Amino acid sequence: MLGVCYYPEHWPSSCWADDARKMRALGLEWVRIAEFSWSRLEPESGRLEFDWLDTAIATLGAAGLRVVLGTPTATPPKWLIDQYPEILPVDPATGQVRGFGSRRHYDFSSQVYLREALRISELMARRYGNNPHVGGWQTDNELSCHDTTLSASRAARDAFRAWCRERYQDIDVLNRAWGNVFWSMEYQDFDAIELPVLAVTETSPAHRLAYRRFSSDQVIRFNEEMCRVIRQHSTNQFVTHNFIPPEQTGVDNTRLAATLDFASYDNYPLGHTDILLSTANTETLQRYQRTGLPDVAALRYDQIRGFSNKPFWVMEQQPGPVNWAPNNPRPAPGMVRVWTLEAFAHGADCVSYFRWRQAPFAQEQMHAGLLRPDSSEAPVCAEIRQALRDVSATGLTRQAMATADVAILISDEARWIDAIERQGSAYRHEDILWQYYGALRQLGLNVDIISPTAVLDDYRLLVVPALPLLSAELLAKLQACTATVVFGPRAGAKTEDFCIPQTLAPGRLQSLIDIRVLSVETLRADCHEPLHWQGSSYASTTWREEIASGAAVETLAFFADNTPAVVRQDRIIYLASLTCDAFLRDFLSNLCTELDLETLELPTDLRMRRRGNLNCVFNYANTIQTVPAPDDAEFILGKRQLPPGDIAIWRKQQEPTA
Ligand code: GAL
């Protein structure tokens, strides 16, 4: 299914019916509305004006569209802020209030705001909870976007104190847990606790981890409450939320998604590519600026699907140049179709484009829509029509989604630990995730991205590239599962309260592999050193550990000084270093052979995803690429010699489509 984001309040009501008719004519089925409309729903305190929204929903519905209704809570109106200025959040980096005039200007710890957000959401839910045209809800909009999870307000400080009291019970326990004796940081009482902000130099890492856990809980609680009031008044309507890239939320995304019927994602491949490549050389940027990096959409799709292990939605899909990256190129011809079909190949139920018509006013006037500001169609509409024809010709969305054989396990807490204790500026959780994901996808593998709470039973290869905190529950699941597990360096290196485990790293993991990390060093990313494996020389980079291992542990790869770089005990493998891409590719490929997992060697900019028995191949290169498929493969879309920005879908001769 396809959809679009629409803002009836931005246009005269006289054009709504025509817009709706054109949406349907384009083949769109869903339309998301209202997520920023509070000042029109309630222009002043208590004066409700819902008639226009009634009409908009009726008009869209009459044209055959189904509506996703956003709660307007990302944009509290001016009168509300004037009435309760304490709603505004405080920037933890500066201590300054973040003011009115854009969006997301509220504090997750403000009880007043929670009450107001629930009030307006409940009013909407009562009114539209049984509306036949409203198929579902979106809570708020991009929770945490614009760095809004952390706040240094009084409300946040007071709520943090209460959170600490609840978690630690006794102030001495907290002092010990945070190591507060270290610089005379001991507290006498929970009411004396400060937020770890605006201090002269580094605050205790355990204190910062607690603040992040607390802040994540505040966002989750806000969303849970929103879901609760919506569900109280709605029947047969789903509740979802549109996530930003998971590493930007500062929230335990899996827990946030647990309250939803499914998770959604806002997909802006070129905006994110421009940011990701901000320090890349010209050649690399020119190569990908209009296609996006080959994993830029896929990685997100796999992450979002993994939040709830269910089909997901792309709630906002980039249709042309955006306005918010440093540079905003136009997608190469065909790329919107590629991102759309790729979403379906990775398990999307619906792709909804942002936005219907480019706004000629306000902040996003340079952001493309499906229509130009004068209502003429942008070329992307032709790609959308083509994508719909492709879906119906191939039956792609009717294919079953199966659990992959291979999963990457990451956690939000690991990200926070990385941000709190960098140790080496080149060690970056997200870079490591991208590197491992890229290596596995280059082997043509379907990959699930899962959290520590996931069921592990079905996986044959589990890759845990960066997990400094490994809970007792996860350890038990790792012990019980049968997967071969590859750990990256730093696994199990911290306790729940951000200390080095008593038995040294990898702490709890020692019950699976008999090693101790004696010391850690970090190096600048370009300072490579040799790593020897199976007679070949590769590179060790960035983070390197000195390992002592017991008799049951075999050394698979060595550093230049002949000390262990990769070790193994039965089905547990531990890498004591970050490595070059070539090592990961060869090493993981070798493991797949051992595990009897079928792999391919895909050219650099080709990606493949299997859904049911359809092998979908996406060409992110700027040249024709040869699809590596068996000679007798049946191409049901595209061809073996695949042009840039194009898609091929093939299946093995003997396999019928669903
Ligand atoms: C999203 C946001 C939209 C719009 C869009 C522009 O992050 O949800 O409201 O701002 O970006 O690309």
Q: Tell the residue nearest (CA) to atom 5 of ligand 1.
A: 354
Beta strands in 172-232 (DSSP E): none
Q: Which residues contact 414 (CB under 8 A, 6 or more apart)?
A: 429, 466, 467, 468, 469
Mean pLDDT on 361-377: 98
Please choose from 36, 142, 275, 318 the residue to mutate so as to test ligand 1's pocket, defined by most ligand atoms within 8 A of CB. 142
Q: Is 598 a catalytic residue?
A: no
Question: What is the separation of C-alpha 522 from the centre of its chain, rounded to a whole number of angstroms?
Answer: 27
Mean pLDDT on 399-406: 96
Q: Tens digits of per-residue pLDDT, 215-224?
A: 999 999 999 9
Report the C-alpha gap between 380 and 312 in whole angstroms: 23
Average pLDDT along the chain:
97
Mean pLDDT on 402-426: 96
CA of 207 from ligand 1 middle (Å) equals: 33
Q: Tens digits of per-residue pLDDT, 571-607?
A: 999 999 999 999 999 999 999 999 999 999 899 999 9
Question: What is the separation of C-alpha 71 from the centre of its chain, rounded to a whole number of angstroms?
Answer: 21
Would the pLDDT of 449 be above 80? yes
Question: What is the separation of C-alpha 452 from the centre of its chain, rounded to a whole number of angstroms?
Answer: 15
Q: Which atom of ligand 1 is nearest to the CA of 242?
A: 8
Would the pLDDT of 656 be above 80? no
Residue 140 CB–ligand 1 contact under 6 Å = no
Mean pLDDT on 125-141: 98
Report the C-alpha gap between 318 and 656 in whole angstroms: 33
Q: By three-state DSSP, how is residue 389 classified?
A: helix
Q: Which residues contact 418 (CB under 8 A, 6 or more apart)?
A: 427, 428, 429, 466, 468
Report the C-alpha gap between 1 and 22 in whole angstroms: 16
Q: Tens digits of per-residue pLDDT, 299-328?
A: 999 999 999 999 999 999 999 999 999 999
User: What is this structure's pTM?
Assistant: 0.97
Q: By three-state DSSP, how is residue 23 classified?
A: helix
Q: Tens digits of per-residue pLDDT, 509-537?
A: 999 999 999 999 999 999 999 999 999 99
Report the C-alpha gap between 483 and 570 in whole angstroms: 11
Residue 206 confidence class, pLDDT cut points 50, 70, 90 = very high
Which of 414, 420, 316 has its CA nearest to residue 368? Answer: 316
Which of 197, 157, 153, 196 has its CA nearest to residue 178? Answer: 196
Please choose from 364, 365, 366 the residue to mutate so as to test ligand 1's pocket, defined by most ligand atoms within 8 A of CB. 364
Q: For residue 266, what are the β-bridge partners?
A: 316
Q: Which atom of ligand 1 is nearest to the CA of 268?
A: 12
* The pLDDT of residue 657: 54
Helix 111-128 vs helix 205-233: crossing angle, to nearest 10: 30
User: Among the options 42, 116, 122, 142, which is catalytic?
Assistant: 142
Residue 110 CB–ligand 1 contact under 6 Å = no
CA of 55 from ligand 1 middle (Å) equals: 25
Please choose from 316, 323, 324, 357 the residue to mutate so as to test ligand 1's pocket, defined by most ligand atoms within 8 A of CB. 316
Percent of the residues in the chain that have a pLDDT greater than 90, as a whole number: 99
* The pLDDT of residue 428: 95
Report the C-alpha gap between 557 and 114 in whole angstroms: 54
Q: Tell the residue nearest (CA) to atom 1 of ligand 1.
A: 266
Q: For residue 262, what are the β-bridge partners?
A: 240
Q: Tens digits of per-residue pLDDT, 59-109?
A: 999 999 999 999 999 999 999 999 999 999 999 999 999 999 999 999 999
Would the pLDDT of 402 be above 80? yes
Q: Which residues contact 1 (CB under 8 A, 6 or more apart)?
A: 29, 30, 349, 350, 351, 397
Please choose from 36, 243, 324 the residue to mutate so as to test ligand 1's pocket, defined by most ligand atoms within 8 A of CB. 324
Q: Which atom of ligand 1 is nearest to the CA of 363?
A: 10
Report the C-alpha gap between 590 and 178 in whole angstroms: 43
Residue 584 CB–ligand 1 contact under 6 Å = no
**Is residue 106 packed enough to be buried (19+ CB in 10 Å), middle (13-18) or exposed (0-12)?**
buried
Would the pLDDT of 332 be above 70? yes
Which DSSP helix (H) or strand (E) runs through 606? strand 606-611
Report the C-alpha gap between 504 and 510 in whole angstroms: 9
Residue 322 CB–ligand 1 contact under 6 Å = yes
3-state secondary structure 432-449: HHHHHHHHHHHCCCCEEE
Residue 354 CB–ligand 1 contact under 6 Å = yes
Would the pLDDT of 658 be above 60? no
Q: Do residues 19 and 11 touch, judged by C-beta distance below 8 A?
A: yes
The residue behind tokens 């292990």 is 309
Tokens of 84: 């309760």
Report the C-alpha gap between 599 and 615 in whole angstroms: 13
CA of 118 from ligand 1 middle (Å) equals: 23
User: Among the options 316, 342, 413, 545, which is catalytic?
Assistant: 316
Would the pLDDT of 144 be above 60? yes
The residue behind tokens 């869209």 is 60
Would the pLDDT of 172 be above 80? yes
Number of H-type helices and E-type strands within the chain: 18, 25
CA of 143 from ligand 1 middle (Å) equals: 12
Residue 268 CB–ligand 1 contact under 6 Å = yes
Report the C-alpha gap between 554 and 565 in whole angstroms: 11
Using CA atoms of 75, 78, 79, 82 in order, give the dihedral in degrees to the nearest 10.
Answer: 110
Q: Do residues 28 and 2 touch, judged by C-beta distance below 8 A?
A: yes
Q: Which atom of ligand 1 is nearest to the CA of 36?
A: 9
Residue 574 gets the label, from left (phi > 0), alpha (psi -120 to 50) or beta, of: beta
Residue 653 confidence class, pLDDT cut points 50, 70, 90 = confident
Helix 581-594 vs helix 429-442: crossing angle, to nearest 10: 50
Which of 364, 263, 261 has its CA nearest to residue 318? Answer: 364
Q: How many CB atoms lie within 10 A of CB 561?
A: 9
Residue 141 CB–ligand 1 contact under 6 Å = yes
Report the C-alpha gap between 148 and 155 in whole angstroms: 14
Question: CA 317, 323, 329: angle at the middle one, nearest 5?
Answer: 80
Q: Is 316 a catalytic residue?
A: yes
